[in-house]
Structure 1
Amino acid sequence: MTNEADPLLRLLEVEMPYGKYQGTPIADLPGNYLNWFAREGFPRGELGRLLALAHEIDHNGLKHLLEPLRRR
């Protein structure tokens, strides 16, 4: 399986391409920033899907699930 097929790995690989947190991996974006996107609307495409996934993980207190992937 390639990393492109694994959304959890993509959260660690893809960096925010613009804004205050430009260059920050999606997995490391703060919850309040993800909440803003949830209220205002996620962008289209992979970035939007990853931001929505990161929001769900953060909102449900599941960030610890990414730790084993970070150690790879």
Structure 2
Amino acid sequence: MADEPAQGNTDILRELIHYQMPFGKYKGHLIRTLPVSYLEWFVQKGFPAGKLGMLLQTMYEIRLNGLEYLLDGLRKGKM
């Protein structure tokens, strides 16, 4: 078991590829394209409740940790 790669659920990442911001200055923009400064604003003010908040937090963590390649791989069908 220790030799097996970790298997994560890619459903959340797949949603980030297509999910649009439903309100605010960036209404209609894909969450994956939101500027880091906007995500940092949510860190300070608080993320919305529910699915949107979870997706925004996930995108923030992806950007913070330099993991954008995960989304790029999904967009190109490599994952």
| TM-score, length-scaled by structure 1 | 0.87
The two structures, once aligned, show a CA RMSD in angstroms of: 1.2
Aligned length: 68
Is residue 52 of structure 1 aligned with residue 57 of structure 2? yes
Deviation at 1:40, TM superposition (A): 0.6
Give me the whole-angstrom Cα distance separating, in 2, the residues matched to 1:22 and 1:62.
24
Gaps of 5+ in 2: 1-9
- 5+ unaligned residues in a row in structure 1: which ranges? none
Match of 1:18 in 2: 23
Q: 2:12 aligns with which of 7, 20, 43?
A: 7
Runs of 4+ more than 3 Å apart: none
